[in-house]
Amino acid sequence: MPILVIAENDNASLKASTLNTITAAKAISSDIDVLVCGKGCETPAKAAAAAAGVRKVYCADCEELAHRLPEAMAEAVRAALQKDAYTHVFFTSSTAGKAAMPRLAGLLGVSALTDVCGVESADTFKRYIYAGGVLATVRTTANPVIATIRPTAFEAAAAQGGSAVVEPLAVQFKSRGFAFVSEEAQLSDKPDLLTARRVVAGGRGLIDEAGFAALEAFADKIGAAVGSTRAVVDMGLAPNESQVGQTGKIVAPELYFAFGISGAIQHVAGMKDSKVIVAVNKDNEAAMFDYADYYLEADAVEVIKELTSKL
C-alpha cells in the first residue's frame, strides 16, 4: 500500500512538519515515498531521504515549482501518481498543503479529507468538525485517499536513520493558468508558531500596542513564538500569521500562555491540545479558565511585565 507524502520545504530546508505527516502515513503502511517540489531543492530532498522509514524520494526540481504554487504542486503530484500506484496522498495541513490538496482532488475528481488528526485504518480517519467541538470518525471510499494531516496530532518521525534513494521527477505542466507575481515574507527571529515548544498568545485584554510589545519581550525572554486571537488581528495589533484558531493556525506546544483571551470556541479549537495551558484574565468567569491547567485572575500586562522582570 504505497503512500505519497508531500514535503513542506522552502528550497533550502525540509520543514519539520513533514516528519509528522510521515508518522501519520506510517500508521497505514511501511511503503512511504516523499515528493519534494521546488527549484534547487536538493537539500530538502536529501533531508527527506534521511528520514526514518522513507522508501524513495521524488524530487521535482524546475522553474515552475520554484515557489510551489498550489496549481503547479497539484500537477507535480499527478505526475508522481502516474509513476506509482499510490493508495494515499498526504499533505501537511499548512497554508501550502491546504491550498494544493483541493487542486489535486479537483484534477483527479476524487473527494478529500481535511485536517486529519487520527488514523484508524487505511480508509478510516478522525477529524474535528464544528470548530473542534466534535471529533468525527469518517470512512472514505476515495481512491486514492487524499488528505491534509494536522501535524500537531502526530509525533515527528526520526529525522535520521533512513537511506532512501532520490529520483528526479519530470512534470509536464498542462494548465498554464498560474504565474508567480511576488512574495512578501515577514522575517522573524522567533520560533515558528506551528512547531514552537512554547507559545505566548495575547488577546484583546492586552489592550494596545504597548501590551503587545510587552508580550513580545516576554516571548523573547523564554524563547517562545507569539500567537494571537482573531480579534486582535482584526484590530491590527498582531499580524495575520500569528492567529491561532479555527481560521488560523492549529498549535499544540508544551506550554501555551493565554493572556487576556476570553476562550471563544474558535480560538480554543486551535490550541486546546497544548500540553500545559496557563491563562491570565481579569474576569474569573472567562471560558479560557475552563481549559487552563493554571490560571490567574489579574491584569494581563502587569503579569507579563512581572514575569519578564523575574526570569
> Which residues would be at the binding site for ligand FAD (CB under 6 A)?
203-205, 229-232, 243-248, 260-262, 264, 266-267, 270, 280-283, 286, 299-300
Tell me the closest approach of the beta carbon of residue 230 to ligand FAD, in angstroms.
Answer: 3
Q: Which residues pair with 31 in a beta bridge?
A: none
E-assigned strand segments in 47-177: 54-61, 88-92, 112-119, 124-129, 134-139, 145-149, 165-168
Residue whose CB is less far from ligand FAD, 99 or 110 = 99
Residue whose CB is less far from ligand FAD, 183 or 285 = 285
Residue whose CB is less far from ligand FAD, 90 or 291 = 291
C-alpha cell at 244: 491561532
Assign residue 250 a region (left: φ > 0; alpha: ψ between -120 and 50; beta: otherwise): beta
Residue whose CB is less far from ligand FAD, 253 or 270 = 270
**CA angle, 61 then 63 then 65, to 5°:** 65
Find where cell 489592550 sits: 207
Question: C-alpha dihedral over 174, 57, 9, 152, to 10 degrees?
Answer: 110
C-alpha cell at 74: 497539484
Tell me the closest approach of the beta carbon of residue 272 to ligand FAD, in angstroms.
Answer: 12
Tell me the closest approach of the beta carbon of residue 129 to ligand FAD, in angstroms.
Answer: 13
Tell me the closest approach of the beta carbon of residue 207 to ligand FAD, in angstroms.
Answer: 6
Residue whose CB is less far from ligand FAD, 204 or 221 = 204
Tell me the closest approach of the beta carbon of residue 18 to ligand FAD, in angstroms.
Answer: 24
